[in-house]
Structure 1
Amino acid sequence: MSGAIPTSTSVTESAVINAPLSHVWHFIKLQDFNKFWSALDKAEYSKGTSEETDIVKWQFKDGTVIEVKQEEHSSLNHYITYSVITANPALSYTSVVSTIRCYAVTSGENENSTFVQWTGNFSSDADAGVIEDAKFKRREALADLAKAAKKM
């Protein structure tokens, strides 16, 4: 019997950001994540690619470098889906596909705010540590997004 702890291979984090959808959505472009996410040092189109190929290199402040590929993007429905295609150092799992969805809050005490949901679906070889790390990174990034959107 393996000592591995059974775990879900998906993570979902969400937040209500006290800023209009237009302010929040402005940041949701792979090449602009460094404009809000404090863990990122820089984000740029990957060398040898163009805007049309939608591959962006994220360089994190801890030295990690990953290339992400935009899989889907909708300015009408306000979501973006991306996958990790390379990582240095290498990931401990095979793959992950993430989606960020933004919704305008149109009534109630949070009217004129934005509900943001950030999911990650990992390959079955991702362990509990990977999922926990993803959860906390998304929480930190959503808090950073809230700060950036409020400044607009």
Structure 2
Amino acid sequence: MSVPTSSGVRESAVIAAPLAKVWHLIKLNDFPTFWSRLDKSEVVKGTSPETDVVKWAFKDGTVLEIKQEEHSSLDHFITYSVITAQPALTYTSVVSTIRLYPITTGKNEGHTFIVWTGNFSSDASADVIEDAKYKRQEALADLAKKLEK
């Protein structure tokens, strides 16, 4: 029997770096420069010029093809979806968004607030949602370490 669960995940962090410095790394092909779980990424050849697809190879052997759905340099967000996976995903789909906000006042002025969400199809299990939560937490901590050096 499956356990009912939320089909979304939202993780956030304050990065001790200005938005421009953080935003520079939020490109699908640049994730391996900060995310320790990723081994490498490469642009997928043969896709249409209007389609940005990147292949992420994880250190555990998982390979995902990620399609950039939306990107805004004005509003500082990127939205992407998983279009293929090896091994195959146990759910139908996921769309993720990473959004950055400059912190303009207070003790964290000059830092960046980052939110990483994932919206999964309703067939995603509680284990999938928990795994996504922890991977986002880990990636945000890795990003903070890279930028706070």
Q: TM-score, normalised by structure 2?
A: 0.97
Question: Deviation string for 1:46-70 (max 9, x for gaps)?
Answer: 1323764200000000000000000
Q: Which residue of 2 aligns with 1:39?
A: 37
In structure 2, what is the equivalent of residue 110 of structure 1? 108
Runs of 4+ deviating beyond 4 Å: none
User: Does structure 2 conserve the Cα–Cα contact (< 8 Å) formed by 1:16 and 1:114?
Assistant: yes
Give ranges in structure 2 of 5+ residues lacking alignment. none
1:31 partner SS:
helix
* Greater Cα shift, 50-59 or 74-83: 50-59
Within 5 Å, give how 1:57-136 maps onto structure 2.
57-136=55-134
- Output the CA distance in 2 between the equivalents of 1:50 and 1:41: 25
**Secondary structure in 2 matching 1:99:** strand
Equivalent in the alignment of 1:4: 2
C-alpha root-mean-square deviation of aligned residues, in Å? 1.1
Q: Structure 1 residue 15 and structure 2 residue 28: aligned?
A: no
1:97: Cα distance to partner?
0.1
Amino acid at match of 1:46: V
Check whether the contact 1:13–1:135 (CA below 8 A) recurs between aligned residues: yes
- Asked if the contact 1:57–1:68 (Cα under 8 Å) also holds between the matched residues in 2, the reply is yes
One-letter amino acid of the counterpart of residue 33, structure 2:
K
Write out per-residue CA displacement over residues 117-145 of structure 1, whole angstroms, 9 at most, x where no aligned residue: 00000000001000000000000000011
Relative to structure 1, the CA distance from residue 51 to residue 63 in structure 2 (aligned partners, 3 Å threshold; closer, same or farther) is farther
Give the aligned residue type for 1:99.
T
In 2 relative to 1, CA 114–122 (structure 1 residues): closer, same or farther, beyond 3 Å?
A: same
Give the aligned length.
Answer: 149
AA of the residue aligned to 2:105 = S
TM-score (norm 1): 0.95
The runs of 5 or more residues in structure 1 that have no matched partner are: none
